[in-house]
């Protein structure tokens, strides 16, 4: 389009010139179209008024040609106007409900985009609020433009790293845009909003990139005293809770690149949520594996940030003392157990701490820190689980051998983590069995470097749902559940290194008699055909 035309169209925004409709902004009520969600804001008495919705601001002269082409919601409203309603010369009135008067400038910005193709927003909060209004009004291209502007704002002058080079960012602080977004994080779109799940993940990934690149310098400027303060809160928000972090390969890889100062801030943050303190120890173990030299120089500082007194009793007693790289002597481990057992006995604890004065630091997080926030954000997130047909065929090739199919998750990992352990499902059967079993297993993470020579009996439990699917057929074209089992940690447990499940979970087709057509090795695979499609067997695991 010619520059003169685009400039002229932009000048028509809010102008009476050629205007053939009016946009009226009004307070959302229960009897009008639902407004976009005003996050963290609830108006007293909302939805209890009767009569016309009260207007907000002045009517906006508008142009149906522009609105029709750019907003599906406003076009739908305009098309409902009848010839009788416009016969008297009145212009169609298009009503836009708002959650509050504070939403008006953001709704205006979303409509201005229809005329200018440009996003108004001088801050992350403004961009997110304009995005929300644009998503509600179905303004074509505006949501994507807001997302792009937000990413550009976070990236700043970030440039691709050259070999041996570094990324740079201008401004007083390269993490200022990340901190700005953190301050308005409640405005980030959720999965229910247009493109919200993808947009938020991309934004968070870029925030983590900036934190990896610049957290060392920021920590140095803050000083050790504030290491678990502002920077720690930023890191805990950007990387999320421990279980979800360790189940997300992308975020986990970024965490492994954090410098020592950032790991100190993250581990020391009171905002770093988990389902079990053993998971925090696992984060440190995985970071140690990828950063042997930096860990060696900061071993004591980092390990001191694990809240040992918050470990479960069996982990504290039977796992912690066998981690070879963790700097806890046998004598202090024995004292720590006494200290933990004195919870609720003020005089006994006071006496223990007095006796340990000058020997053990009972003010350190090992002893004194409270429990972290409890939670994992991927609860009820279905992790799809795949087994290749080729693996099944290999198992069937040895009729006397037991088939054990473990597969991989949609994240690319073979195991997921919960409560300090690795978990994975399996399908087991012998080639001649009429039923296949479905099991869930728990393993001690290899990153802990626990010696195999130590005989330990430890039970494990988590709350999880295991599913195996069958193909519904080409007509239905979808997978449906063939088997489902929920395990609640209050009701089930298994030995670490073992598993629990149902040996007769999946009925298999009957084998053909020897010598019958198809009664060869192919018939063994046919027995599993109900659970196979596109050379894949599908299941899922969901933490609940």
CATH number at residue 398: 2.60.210
Q: What is the DSSP string of 286-349?
A: HHHHH-HHHHHHHHHHHHTTS-GGGS-HHHHHHTGGG-TTS---HHHHHHHHHHHHTTT-HHHH
Q: Tell me what pLDDT residue 2 has.
A: 81
What confidence score (pLDDT) does residue 82 get?
A: 59
- Identify whether residues 352 and 445 lie together within a single domain: no
Using DSSP, state whether 188 is helix, strand or coil: coil
Residue 454 has what pLDDT?
76
- pLDDT for position 521: 53
Q: Which of 533, 473, 529 is nearest to 506 (CA)?
A: 529
Please list the rounded mean pLDDT of every run of 10 residues in the chain (544 residues). 88 95 88 57 46 87 93 88 63 92 97 95 95 96 96 78 40 84 96 87 96 86 59 96 98 97 96 97 98 97 98 94 97 97 96 96 96 96 97 84 92 98 96 93 96 84 97 80 97 94 95 59 83 96 98
Name the residue range of residue 505's domain. Answer: 382-543
**How many whole angstroms separate alpha carbon 394 and alpha carbon 503?**
21
How many angstroms separate the CA atoms of 206 and 152, rounded? 10
Clarify whether residues 175 and 233 are in a common domain: yes
**Cα(65)–Cα(52) distance, rounded to whole angstroms?**
27
- Hey, CA dihedral for 90, 91, 95, 101, is it positive or negative? negative
Structure confidence at residue 30 (pLDDT): 58
Tell how far CA 145 is from the center of its chain: 24
Which of the listed residues 154, 188, 206 is the one where a domain comes to its end? 154
Write down the pLDDT at residue 368. 95
Considering 154, 179, 208, which residue would you say is the last residue of a domain? 154
Contact 523, 390 (CB under 8 A): no
Does residue 354 sit in the same domain as residue 260?
yes
Name the domain count of the chain: 3
Q: How far apart are CA 277 and CA 354, in angstroms?
A: 26
**Are 418 and 243 a contacting pair, CB within 8 Å?**
yes
Pair (348, 408) in one structural domain: no
In angstroms, the CA 394 to CA 256 distance is 36
Cβ contact 416:422 at 8 Å: yes
- Asked whether residue 374 is domain-assigned, the answer is no
The residue from 305, 340, 368 where one domain ends is 368
> Does a structural domain hold residue 242?
yes
The pLDDT value given to residue 43:
43
Residue-level pLDDT at 87: 60
- Burial of 232: CB neighbours in 10 Å, binned 0-12, 13-18, 19+: buried
Beta bridge partners of 429: 403
Measured distance CA(459)–CA(314) in Å, rounded? 8
Residue 467's DSSP bridge partners are: 484, 540
SS3 183: helix
Beta-strand pair 60-62/402-405: unpaired
pTM, entire model: 0.87
Tokens of 518: 């198809």
Dihedral sign for Cα atoms in the order 149, 135, 130, 67: positive
One domain, residues 407 and 506: yes
386 and 363 in one domain? no
Does residue 350 lie in a domain region?
yes
In a domain, 425, yes or no: yes
Phi and psi, residue 189, nearest 5°: -65, 140
If asked whether residues 177 and 201 sit together in one domain, one would say yes
pLDDT for the residue numbered 174: 85
Q: Confirm whether 493 is domain-assigned.
A: yes
What pLDDT is attached to residue 159?
A: 46
Helix 260-268 to helix 292-303 angle, to the nearest 10 degrees? 30
Q: What is the dihedral of CA 411, 417, 421, 424, to 10 degrees?
A: -50
Among candidate residues 232, 240, 143, the one with its CA nearest the CA of residue 193? 143
Helices (H), 170-195: 176-183
User: Are residues 184 and 149 located together in one domain of the fold?
Assistant: no
What is the DSSP-derived secondary structure letter of residue 359? T
Nearest-angstrom CA–CA distance, 412 and 118: 39
């Amino acid at each position: 389009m010619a520059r003169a035309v685009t400039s002229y169209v932009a000048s028509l925004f809010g102008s009476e010139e050629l205007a053939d409709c009016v946009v009226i902004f009004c307070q959302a009520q229960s009897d009008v179209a639902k407004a976009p969600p005003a996050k963290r804001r609830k108006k007293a008495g909302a939805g209890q008024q009767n009569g016309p919705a009260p207007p907000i601001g002045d009517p906006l002269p508008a142009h149906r040609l522009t609105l029709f082409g750019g907003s599906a919601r406003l076009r739908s409203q305009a098309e409902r106007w009848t010839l009788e309603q416009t016969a008297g010369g009145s212009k169609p009135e298009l009503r836009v409900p708002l959650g509050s008067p504070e939403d008006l400038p953001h709704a205006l910005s979303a409509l201005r985009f229809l005329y200018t193709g440009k996003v108004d927003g001088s801050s992350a909060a403004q961009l997110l609020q304009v995005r929300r209004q644009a998503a509600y009004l179905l303004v074509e291209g505006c949501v994507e433009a807001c997302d792009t502007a937000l990413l550009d704002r976070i990236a700043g002058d970030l440039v691709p790293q050259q070999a041996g080079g570094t990324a740079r960012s201008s401004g007083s602080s390269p993490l200022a845009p990340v901190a700005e977004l953190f301050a308005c994080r409640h405005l980030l779109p959720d999965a229910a909003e247009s493109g919200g799940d993808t947009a938020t993940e991309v934004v968070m990934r870029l925030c983590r990139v900036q934190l990896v690149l610049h957290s060392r310098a920021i920590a140095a400027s803050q000083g050790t005293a504030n290491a678990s303060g502002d920077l720690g809160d930023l890191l805990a928000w950007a990387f999320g809770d421990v279980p979800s972090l360790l189940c997300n390969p992308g975020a986990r890889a970024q965490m492994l690149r954090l410098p020592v100062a950032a790991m100190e801030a993250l581990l020391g943050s009171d905002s770093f949520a988990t389902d079990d303190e053993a998971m925090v120890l696992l984060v440190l173990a995985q970071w140690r594996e990828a950063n042997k030299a930096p860990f060696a120089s900061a071993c004591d500082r980092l390990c001191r940030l694990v809240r040992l007194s918050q470990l479960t009793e069996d982990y504290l007693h039977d796992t912690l003392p066998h981690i070879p790289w963790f700097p806890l002597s046998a004598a202090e481990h024995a004292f720590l157990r006494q200290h933990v057992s004195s919870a609720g006995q003020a005089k006994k604890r006071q006496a223990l701490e007095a006796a340990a004065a000058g020997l053990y630091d009972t003010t350190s997080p090992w002893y004194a820190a409270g429990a972290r926030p409890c939670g994992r954000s991927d609860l009820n997130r279905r992790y799809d689980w795949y087994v290749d047909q080729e693996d099944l065929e290999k198992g069937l090739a040895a009729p006397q051998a037991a088939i054990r199919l473990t597969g991989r998750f949609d994240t690319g990992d073979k195991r997921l983590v919960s409560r300090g352990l690795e978990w994975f499902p399996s399908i087991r059967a012998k080639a001649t069995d009429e039923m296949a079993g479905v099991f869930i297993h728990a393993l001690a993470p290899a990153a802990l470097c626990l010696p195999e020579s130590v005989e330990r009996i430890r039970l494990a439990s988590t709350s999880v749902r295991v599913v195996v699917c069958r193909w519904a057929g080409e007509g239905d074209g979808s997978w449906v559940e063939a088997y489902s089992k929920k395990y609640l940690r209050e009701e089930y447990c298994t030995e670490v290194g073992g598993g629990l499940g149902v040996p007769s979970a999946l009925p298999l087709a009957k084998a053909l008699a020897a010598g019958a057509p198809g009664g060869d090795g192919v018939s063994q695979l046919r027995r599993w055909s109900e659970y196979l499609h596109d050379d894949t067997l599908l299941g899922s695991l969901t933490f609940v």
